[in-house]
């Protein structure tokens, strides 16, 4: 990957080696920090704080909504262990009468299944003779450890992809990472998405496709990386790389999904049928309208149609912006559009945007504002589910509006950065698209565009 330090006339590699000089003595090793150890340490502390925040629910045995909602410490993980087949020692997608079929994409279900078996092995208990409530406590702790490792991978990959590795500190220290990372298994898809962006940035199109395919097998949103890749490959004449990535993604997705489809077709189909049949749910624009007294009929075609329009608009922006947008800017806009228009916004979905925000708009002020709106919603959703708002339902749909406003705030800024690159924190430093791989300093191939000359980079 071409970095700013490699650009002729660059100010040098200081920004990208990650060395930060202290004000007391620039030559003192005591005051010089390298980013990755600091970032990983901060990430570890963030997950530790998240684990402590969940302790009241763990100590209560994950029983009682008065504790889980009142203490804001809810997690799906131990409850799903008790209520799905893998907690009984069955295959994750087995269809059995006693419990509901798992409604998650295949890689997420297999991940949960492996950790369930590991938890029983650590305790030395048999699935048929286990005290399921007792094992579910250990299961949560094992998941916390696994999700922490995935969080470290995601932060590491984001730091290696970013124009300045210190930008990843915005992700490592994010309060939403602490409180949301152990609600569900979304960190698996977040880590795979971060690895996909890193490998694309390093020019490894096939490996990036593998990570995208695995990400889609964990959470569907990762597929939205392919749209920005397509429009940027069109603009730069790099369609060969796009097709290599897409084919690799399809093969990786199929390699995970086909065995489960063969073994348990009904179990495999549950994720797709569940999501097509569900209506407006917690956190979404549509649920907020419903709570406010304005339900939207025929929601599926409306939400899908608006998402298609939004993606077409992002594609038009990518193709006709005066200067080619950066890959992560378009990736952020596409995933943000999906989250703004989706039928549900679970509290852990904020994790999907964390690495994309850091790479698209690395500005502390803007990230703090966005995180503040997300934390307002995070408190509100648990209070609402717990019945603490009573008849004051405007408190909840108002919190949904605040969350949506926070995301739209970032969307507006990123669109402005695309149309006026002098506002873009990355391009202000003289870089082009450090995370773009083959797009970095690429010449536009579509008729009507002029190549952007390289500029001398400066250290921000």
SS3 for 49-102 is HHHHHCHHHHHCCCCCHHHHHHCCCCCHHHHHHHHEHHHHCCCCCCCCCCCECC
Instruction: Count, in order, helices (H) and strands (E) of the chain.
Output: 21, 2
Q: Which residues contact 149 (CB under 8 A, 6 or more apart)?
A: none
pLDDT on residue 449:
53
Neighbours of 266 (CB within 10 A): 11
Q: How far is C-alpha 220 from the chain's CA centre?
A: 11
Show the tokens assigned to 366: 């803007």
Per-residue pLDDT of the chain (460 residues; tens, 9 = 90+): 333 333 333 333 333 333 333 333 344 453 467 899 999 999 999 999 999 999 999 999 999 888 999 999 999 999 999 999 999 999 999 998 888 899 999 999 999 999 999 999 999 999 888 899 999 999 999 999 999 999 999 999 999 999 999 999 999 999 999 999 999 999 999 999 999 999 999 999 999 999 999 999 999 999 999 999 999 999 999 999 999 999 999 999 999 999 999 999 999 999 999 998 889 999 999 999 999 999 999 999 999 999 999 999 999 999 999 999 999 999 999 999 999 999 999 999 999 999 999 999 999 999 999 999 999 999 999 999 999 998 899 999 999 999 999 999 999 999 999 999 999 999 999 999 999 999 999 999 876 555 454 554 433 3
Q: Which residues share a beta bridge with 100?
A: 84
Q: What is the DSSP letter of 163?
A: S
Structure tokens of 55?
A: 């302790």
46's CB contacts (< 8 A; 6+ apart) are: 151, 172, 173, 174, 177, 178
Of the candidates 271, 269, 197, 219, the residue with the CA atom closest to the CA atom of residue 107: 219
Q: Does the reported pTM lie above 0.75?
A: yes
* pLDDT score recorded for residue 68: 94
Residue at token pair 């709570």: 291
How many angstroms separate the CA atoms of 304 and 298, rounded? 11
Query: Where do the domains of the chain lie?
Result: 34-439
Instruction: Write the burial class of residue 293 (CB in 10 Å: 0-12 exposed, 13-18 middle, 19+ buried).
Output: exposed
Helix (H) or strand (E) holding 144: helix 132-161
Q: What is the dihedral of CA 384, 387, 393, 394, to 10 degrees?
A: -50
pLDDT reported for residue 22: 34
The pLDDT, as a whole number, for residue 5 is 37
Question: What is residue 346's predicted lDDT score, i.e. its pLDDT?
Answer: 95
Pairwise CA distance, residues 340 & 36, whole Å: 32
- Give strand pairing partners of 32: 21
Asked if 43 and 151 touch (Cβ cutoff 8 Å), the reply is: yes
């Amino acid at each position: 990957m071409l970095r700013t330090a490699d650009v002729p006339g660059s100010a040098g590699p200081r920004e990208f080696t990650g060395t930060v000089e202290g004000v007391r003595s620039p030559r003192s090793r005591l005051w010089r920090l390298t980013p990755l150890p600091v970032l990983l340490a901060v990430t570890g502390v963030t997950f530790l704080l998240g684990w402590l925040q969940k302790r009241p629910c763990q100590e209560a045995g994950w029983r009682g909504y008065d504790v889980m909602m009142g203490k804001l410490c809810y997690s799906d993980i131990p409850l799903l262990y008790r209520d799905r087949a893998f907690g009984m020692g069955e295959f994750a997608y087995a269809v059995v009468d006693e419990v509901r079929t798992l409604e998650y994409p295949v890689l997420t279900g297999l991940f949960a299944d492996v950790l369930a078996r590991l938890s029983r092995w650590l305790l030395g208990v048999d699935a048929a003779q286990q005290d399921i409530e007792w094992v579910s406590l250990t299961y949560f702790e094992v998941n916390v450890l696994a999700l922490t490792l995935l969080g470290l991978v995601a932060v590491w990959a984001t730091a290696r992809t970013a124009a300045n590795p210190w930008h990843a500190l915005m992700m490592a220290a994010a309060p939403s990472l602490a409180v949301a990372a152990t609600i569900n298994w979304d960190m698996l898809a977040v880590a795979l998405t971060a690895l996909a962006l890193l490998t694309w940035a390093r020019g490894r199109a096939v490996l990036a496709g593998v990570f995208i395919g695995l990400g889609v097998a964990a959470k569907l949103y990762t597929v939205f990386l392919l749209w920005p890749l397509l429009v940027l490959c069109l603009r730069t004449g790099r369609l060969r790389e796009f097709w290599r990535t897409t084919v690799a993604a399809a093969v990786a997705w199929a390699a995970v999904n086909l065995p489960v489809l063969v073994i348990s077709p009904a179990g495999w189909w549950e994720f797709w049928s569940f999501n097509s049949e569900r209506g407006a749910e917690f956190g979404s624009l549509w649920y907020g309208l419903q709570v406010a007294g304005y339900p939207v009929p025929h929601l599926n075609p409306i939400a899908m149609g608006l998402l298609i329009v939004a993606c077409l608009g992002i594609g038009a922006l990518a193709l006709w912006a005066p200067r080619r947008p950066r890959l992560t800017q378009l990736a952020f806009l596409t995933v943000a559009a999906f989250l703004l228009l989706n039928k549900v916004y679970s509290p852990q979905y904020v994790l999907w945007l964390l690495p994309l925000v850091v790479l698209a708009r690395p500005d502390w002020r803007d990230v703090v504002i966005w995180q503040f709106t997300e934390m307002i919603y995070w408190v509100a959703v648990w209070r609402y589910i717990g019945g603490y708002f009573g008849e004051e339902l405007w408190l909840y749909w108002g919190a949904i509006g605040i969350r949506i406003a926070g995301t739209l705030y970032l969307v507006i800024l990123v669109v402005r950065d695309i149309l006026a690159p002098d506002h873009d924190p990355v391009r202000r430093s003289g870089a082009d698209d450090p995370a773009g791989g083959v797009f970095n300093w690429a010449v536009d191939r579509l008729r009507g565009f002029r190549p952007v000359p390289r500029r001398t980079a400066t250290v921000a």
